[in-house]
């Protein structure tokens, strides 16, 4: 499982010209699920995200987590995070999980992260053509891969 996390002051998802989800002060999370992912990847990643200390404390230092600030999360499924660009100019997405595997894992991720942060996650629509807007606060952008736990 691979995520791109952006600390945002606002973010939204628009589908067919209509805003379907939006947040203020929190994380926009782009989530890529690969065929080799399991419930253990979800558990590890949601734990990591919910405790990640990248929000400012009273002294302006990154010492607070999403849970500490009672922030929001907007999660957007993005299979292209598993693009392989080794050969040629057209990316291969062979490592990305098929929709029948990825969608239930996406829903589990949303539920588990919501439980960990104490509020339901906002989300895009799985498989939809979405326009994602955000104001990256900082900017702070972090990439995490559950298969490469650095």
Give helix 99-117 / helix 39-51 axis angle, nearest 10°. Answer: 40
Which CATH number fits the domain that encloses residue 48? 3.50.80.10
d(CA 7, CA 125): 21
Residue tagged 């957007």 (tokens): 76
The CA-CA-CA angle for residues 75, 148, 61, to 5°, reads 65
Q: Does residue 16 sit within a domain?
A: yes
d(CA 78, CA 122): 15
Q: Does residue 150 sit within a domain?
A: no
pLDDT of residue 147: 87
Q: Does residue 12 sit within a domain?
A: yes
Closest CA to 137 of 25, 19, 18, 47: 25
> Each residue of 89-138: pLDDT tens digit?
999 998 899 999 999 999 999 999 999 999 999 998 999 999 999 999 99
The CA-CA-CA angle for residues 65, 124, 141, to 5°, reads 40
> For residue 150, is pLDDT > 80?
no
Q: Which residues pair with 22 in a beta bridge?
A: 12
What positions carry a catalytic annotation?
A: 78-80
> Each residue of 13-72: pLDDT tens digit?
999 999 999 999 999 999 999 999 999 999 999 999 999 999 999 999 999 999 999 999
Q: How confident is the model at residue 149 (pLDDT cuts 50, 70, 90)?
A: confident
Residue predicted with more confidence, 17 or 147? 17
Closest CA to 27 of 13, 15, 53, 9: 9
Do residues 90 and 41 lie in contact, with contact meaning Cβ atoms separated by under 8 Å? Answer: no
Give me the domain span that covers residue 28: 2-145
Number of domains comprising the chain: 1
Q: Is residue 35 classed as helix, strand or coil in its secondary structure? A: coil
Q: How confident is the model at residue 148 (pLDDT cuts 50, 70, 90)?
A: confident
């Amino acid at each position: 499982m691979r995520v791109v996390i952006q600390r945002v002051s606002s973010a939204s998802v628009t589908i067919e010209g209509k805003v379907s989800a939006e947040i203020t002060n929190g994380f926009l999370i782009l989530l890529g699920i690969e065929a080799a992912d399991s419930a253990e990847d979800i558990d590890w990643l949601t734990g990591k995200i919910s405790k990640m200390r990248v929000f400012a404390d009273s002294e302006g230092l990154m010492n607070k987590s999403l849970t500490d600030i009672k922030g929001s999360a907007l999660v957007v499924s993005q299979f292209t995070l598993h693009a392989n660009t080794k050969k040629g100019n057209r990316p291969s997405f062979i490592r990305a999980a098929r929709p029948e595997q990825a969608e239930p894992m996406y829903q589990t991720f949303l539920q588990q992260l919501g439980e960990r942060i104490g509020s339901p996650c906002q989300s895009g629509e799985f498989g939809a053509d979405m326009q994602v807007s955000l104001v990256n606060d900082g900017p702070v952008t972090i990439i995490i891969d559950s298969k490469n736990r650095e």
